């Protein structure tokens, strides 16, 4: 058995690509438009998975955008996506400066949670040992749920 990808439905493809690619730093690997089925699939990979994604198409995140409007609720119903990051403080700062709410701040220098534009819970984990506690994160309260 081999992990292939996780699929999430998105309501606004451009907002989602901005979040996942521009803010989180993921790379678009492939895009498929299906006019008959009226949907677009966009496959993304984390930068450190780029070679594997090219060679084996794993591991990736599949964004599914249905052209006919639908309302998606319960973004937490499957759990969350998790990504290891090089500097959790720098990434959370960039996300916050771009209007993303840090639902669970990285108070411990190790873990944070944010949500995608469609309410998908995203766990961010510091690569290696936790970073030393740092303000404003160390005293920041949780916001909402994750």
Active site residues: 123
Query: Closest by alpha carbon to 97, among 89, 87, 109?
Result: 89
Given 3-state DSSP classes, what are the helix, strand and coil percentages for the chain, each rounded to the nearest 5?
25, 30, 45
Task: Tally Cβ neighbours within 10 Å of residue 44.
Answer: 22
């Amino acid at each position: 058995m081999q992990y292939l990808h996780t699929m999430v439905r998105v309501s606004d493809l451009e907002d989602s690509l901005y979040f996942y690619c521009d803010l989180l730093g993921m790379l678009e690997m492939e895009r498929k438009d299906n006019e008959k089925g009226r949907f677009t699939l966009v496959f993304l990979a984390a930068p450190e998975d780029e070679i594997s994604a090219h060679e084996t198409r794993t591991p990736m995140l599949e964004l599914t955008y249905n052209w006919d409007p639908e309302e998606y609720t319960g973004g937490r119903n499957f759990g969350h996506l998790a990504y290891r990051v090089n500097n959790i403080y720098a990434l959370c700062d960039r996300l916050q400066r771009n209007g993303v709410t840090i639902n669970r701040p990285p108070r411990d220098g190790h873990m944070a949670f944010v949500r995608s534009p469609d309410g998908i819970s995203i766990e961010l984990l510091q690569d290696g040992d936790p970073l030393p506690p740092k303000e404003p994160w160390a005293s920041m309260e949780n916001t909402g749920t994750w």
